[in-house]
Each structure stands twice: as C-alpha cells, then as structure tokens.
Amino acid sequence: MTNSLSKNLIYQRKLKGLTQKELSDRTNITVRTIQRIEKGETEPHLQTVKLLAVAMDIDVDTLLPLNNPREEDIQKKWLLLLHATPFLGSVIPLFNILAPVFIWIHKREDNKIYDIHGRKVLNFQLTMTLVFLFALSGMMFIGHLIMQGTPLMIFLFFGVLIYTFIVMCVNIYLVIKDRKCYYPLSIPFLSIKRKAKNKMATIVLIVSSFFFSCSSHAQTVSRLDGSQITVDSLDRKIKQLMTDAKVTGMAITIFNDGKSVYSKAHGYRNKKESLILTDSSNIYGASLSKAVFSVIAMKLVEEGFIDLDTPLESYLDKKIYEYVPQTRWHDDYSNLKNDTLYHKITARMCLAHTSGFPNWRFFLPDQKLKVTQEPGEGYLYSGEGMVYLQVVLEKLTGKGFEELASEIIFEPLQMTNSSYEFKPSFEKSMAYGHNKDEQPYQKDKDNEPRAPSTLETTLEDYTKFMTAVFQRKLISENSWQEIFKPQVRIRTLKQFGPLSKQTGSYNDDIKLSYGLGWGIFFTPYGKAAFKEGHGSGFIHHSVIFPEAGKGILIMTNSENGNSIFKELLEATLKDTYTPWEWENYIPFEQKASN
C-alpha cells in the first residue's frame, strides 16, 4: 500500500501543479512528512491521507485504493459497526439512530462504501422508528377510543420489532459475506446522491454535533487571529509532530476566554516500559516553579512581610552569611562574606532576574556564589536570585517554603498532586525525563524545596494554576499588574549560552522584557506573558495573552520537546510572536538539516 500511495501522491500533486511546500501549507502536514510519504518511508494515518486528498480536491480512494487484505478487513469491521450498533436501541432509546450516525459522520469521507451503507442504515432506522412510534401511540391513544383497533396496533407494534430485528441480522450476514446490504421498506430521508440541502441530514448533523460537544467539551479551538482548529486536527497535528521529532510524551492545555478548552496527554511517561502519560501523571515542573513563586512572593508583599524595593538583607537580624545552613547547599551564603554588592539586592531584582547572581553557583568556574554584575543594572537569568528571596521569606515568616506554597497556592486551588518536594505518593504515576534517543533518565526524588526549580505537578494541577492566573485569583489586581509590568528590557541575542552575552535589536519589535517571574512581550493582540522550564529531560513552555483570553501550557518529558514548540504555537494559537530563536526553540527539521 505504501508504494502505491507514494506513486499516487506524487502523480496527483504534480497533476495539480503543487510543490511539496504548497501542499504542506494547505494541509498543515510538514514538508518532511510529505517527502517521507512520497519516498515510501512511512505509512501515514488514514486521516493524514484524507487531509492530502481534500487539499488536492480529489477522493481519498484516488490516493489510497483498497488493495490488500488488512485494509479490507478493517473496512469490514467498520461496516459491521455501522450495521450492528443499531441493536443498542433496544437498550438505550434512539441509539439505533445515534450510534450509526456517529460512525457515518466519522467515516463517510474516508470511502464511498461507508457513506452508502451509512445512509441505508439510517434511512431504515428512521423509517422503523417512525412506524414504531406510530404503533406505540396507537396502542396508547387509539385503543382507548376504538377498542377494536387495539389488537391491530399490538400486531403492528410487535411486527415492527420482529421485522427490524430480522432485517438487521440479514444485513450483518450480507456485510460479512460480500460487504453488501439491502434494507427494504425504507423511506429515503438521506438520498444516496448527496444533497447539500437535505433537511434530515442537517438535523442529524446538529444532533450529532451536540453529542460530540458534550463528550469533548469543545470541538473547535479559537486562535488569536479568530480562526479555529478542530480538536481532531489538533490531535493529528500533535501526534504527527511528536512522532517526527521523537518527543516521548507531551501534556498540553489550550485556553480560550481564560478557560481550558483542550487538555490532553499524549505519548509515554516511560517509553522503555510503555507506561502511558496521563493528565494526572507526576511531571517535574522545572522553571515553571518560578511563575508560581512570583504569586507567593506578591502575596507576602501584600501581607507586609517585605517590600519590593527594600534591600532584603535589611530585614534580617544578621548578615545572610552568618546564618548556619539548614539545607545541603542552597542556603549556604558563606562565600558572600567579602562580596560588596549582594546587600543591594531587592525582591524586585530577584523576581525580575536583575539581582546580578548567576543562574546557579555551580555554573561558575570555582562554583562559589557571588554577584557577577551590578544589582538592578540589567537582565541576567538567575535561579540563585529567587532562592535568596525564598530563604529571606522563610526566615521572616518562620515557615518552610513548602508550607508557604501549600497555604498560598496548592490548598486554595486544590492542586492536590503538586509539591516543591518529591513525595512517595508521586511514585505510582511519575513521568521520567527522556534523552534525545528517547531513553529515560533516572528520576531525581530527593530535591529539597527550592522556589525557582523543584515544583512537582501534573497537567491537571498546573492547568488550575494558569486558570487562576487568567482569572486574577489569589492576589490583588494591583499585584497582578505588577507581575505583568515590564521591569527590564531584554536585548540579548539568546537567553542562554555564549550569545546571551551579546546584544542586538532582534526582539525590539515585540519589546521583549521581563516582569516578576514571567517574561513579557507585546503583540497586536495585547501583552503576552510566558514562562518556560528545562531540566532532567523535561522541557516546558507556557504563554498567555490576557487581553485575548488565549493561552497554552505545553509540558514534555523529552529533550526533543522544544523542537516542536514553534510549529505547535503557530498551529494551536497562531502565535508567531513568541521569540522562539531567543528561546532556542529550533525546529527539528531545521536541526536535522544542519
């Protein structure tokens, strides 16, 4: 089938005068995938073939002739479902119509035989249902008026049931034998020749759409530019990207009007053991921790423990380096004894990454903590800065950071599977980070609570947090405005690596900045706020557009995760504004060509 499909695709594409790039633009299928199909290197999903056929305005059969036993067997199974599911109507009212309707709508474009059989099944079931209801009403009402008519109505009532049962059984036999069907005495509500204005078809579609919307919460997702994408298309796009880029697992939530309209997990939490990722799987949050910490810090500012612009050391009874460390390493400030700059650092600087501390002390040549640039002078991403703020807050409140996070965030939002320390209860559902070859890393389970980096959470829980952000819960409106106010402009060429030392005007058009715990940029749809995370084989990205009510949360357990973020943001939100090069979100196709 693969060779036949590849030849047909090449022939039809050239016949239509399309390049691979033009066909990719029409279908949202990557050029690389089209190339692999045309070379016969992969056997695409039927829905992918359908997208290609629609884009070229041809029938699916033109690309994918049914010419092997496996496909014929699959076809026979779908036909059996069409003809057998009406038996559900004997248990659940009207499911003799609704069940085949769902199958017909799903499969009718894949092959003409599904469309023809589906219409015949529905015509018969609609006819028999009307006759059945007529007989039933006759038994209930006419019999009261004309007693002599009651036996006739009873005969008609049971006659319809017996006749329907026999015809359905006969057609199941015909389908098994040679994929044919025959339903006598059917009213042609749905003509075998398709009519766009067929009223009954419209009614059926409306009813089925209602049931589909109930089961999946939203059949379409609205994007920034007002366009929409269907949930089915999203599922296909996500699976295609994950397969092509070798992304082991991904949990994703999309927001419309500040509410979740799509929230699913795909792939594996441990590929080696074939363990499936779910929305309740424990996922290491990495630097998504910082977004949560910004809310905790602002809550404590509201309660008067600190001010954003007062040097943190001034709140303490003694110098920070004079305290005896209570953890393995992160509250050991003994190396600051001779530092002349750290005493200038404020809470605002810590949250906006202008403290002057490095990202982590162990990235320095001597692995000794020190301030590497003037506090408040410019952007320098720093986990150490947030840890410093955390330690001061713990000393001022007399509470550990896990206790503060539980009181301010986890308990109010009912984030029951989230913590800044790994708990034994996470064992049964934990996701493992995977390297670029999709081999799992060993799970780090002994982290002490650190505000910028040790969050353990789930898709379900972090979706609750982002919903609270959209709805401005937990802290005051003034505090939210402070979080999302640009505190420092960013002009570095990259966020990390050698180019993070060089500056330019590349992101001036979006006014790339940092707020308090969140990155900020500006778009035609208003201000956007983002937070990402990376560590131990997990790579995440989140971005919200508060004025548009749109947003997305992407959590992956793969070192290849960021290679699909650019395309995923464009497909799900039409977000072409996120500074993907600065973030180093290099698409997997571009990596492969380098």
Query: Which residue did the predictor score with more confidence, 57 or 364?
Result: 364
* Res. 201: pLDDT tops 50: no
Question: How far, in Å, CA of 574 to CA of 582, rounded?
Answer: 19
Using alpha carbons, list the distances in angstroms from residue 29 to 44, 45, 241, 300: 11, 12, 9, 48
Where do the CATH 3.40.710.10 domains begin and end in the chain? Answer: 242-592
* Res. 246: pLDDT tops 90: yes
Average pLDDT score, the chain: 89
Pair 387, 451: CB distance under 8 Å: yes
Using alpha carbons, list the distances in angstroms from residue 73 to 59, 114, 163, 594: 21, 14, 29, 43
Helix (H, G, I), strand (E, B) or coil at 378: coil
How far does Cα 404 stand from its chain's mean position?
Answer: 29
* Res. 255: pLDDT tops 60: yes
Using alpha carbons, list the distances in angstroms from residue 450 to 325, 454, 516, 517: 14, 6, 17, 14
* Res. 531: pLDDT tops 80: yes
**What backbone torsions phi and psi does residue 523 show, to the nearest 5 degrees?**
-140, 170
Of 129-138, 254-263, 393-402, 406-415, the poorest mean pLDDT is in: 129-138
Where do the CATH 1.10.260.40 domains begin and end in the chain? Answer: 1-62
Dump pLDDT digits (tens) for 43-76: 787 778 888 888 888 877 777 654 444 445 557 7
Question: How far, in Å, CA of 46 to CA of 236, rounded?
Answer: 10
Question: How far, in Å, CA of 431 to CA of 467, rounded?
Answer: 23
* Res. 19: pLDDT tops 70: yes
Q: Once rounded to an integer, what is the mean pLDDT over residues 316-341?
A: 96
Q: Once rounded to an integer, what is the mean pLDDT over residues 285-306?
A: 98
**pLDDT band at residue 208 using 50, 70 and 90 as cut-offs:** very low
Question: How far, in Å, CA of 119 to CA of 192, rounded?
Answer: 7
Those residues with Cβ within 8 angstroms of residue 123's Cβ, 6 or more apart along the chain or in another chain: 183, 186, 187, 188, 189, 190
Those residues with Cβ within 8 angstroms of residue 291's Cβ, 6 or more apart along the chain or in another chain: 465, 469, 517, 518, 531, 542
Question: How far, in Å, CA of 433 to CA of 295, rounded?
Answer: 27
1-62 is classed in which CATH architecture? Orthogonal Bundle (1.10)
Radius of gyration of the chain (CA): 30
Six-digit token pair at 483? 């979080």
**pLDDT band at residue 78 using 50, 70 and 90 as cut-offs:** confident
Q: Once rounded to an integer, what is the mean pLDDT over residues 364-377?
A: 96
Helix (H, G, I), strand (E, B) or coil at 347: helix
| pLDDT at res. 218 | 45
Specify the residue for token string 């965030």.
409
Helix (H, G, I), strand (E, B) or coil at 134: helix
Q: Once rounded to an integer, what is the mean pLDDT over residues 99-128?
A: 86
Q: Once rounded to an integer, what is the mean pLDDT over residues 144-171?
A: 75
Of 81-85, 249-253, 347-351, the poorest mean pLDDT is in: 81-85
Pair 470, 544: CB distance under 8 Å: yes
Specify the residue for token string 């359908």.
50
Query: Which residue did the predictor score with more confidence, 221 or 72?
Result: 221
Q: Please choose, from the candidates 290, 312, 235, 277, the residue with its C-alpha nearest in 3D space to the C-alpha of residue 465.
A: 290
Farthest CA pair distance, the chain:
109
Pair 556, 431: CB distance under 8 Å: no
Percent of the chain with pLDDT over 70: 89
Of 73-87, 129-143, 192-206, 405-419, the poorest mean pLDDT is in: 192-206
**pLDDT band at residue 484 using 50, 70 and 90 as cut-offs:** very high
Q: CA dihedral defined by 506, 482, 454, 470, rounded to 10 degrees?
A: -90
Strand (E) or helix (H) holding 64:
none
CATH class given for the domain over 242-592: alpha beta
| pLDDT at res. 447 | 77
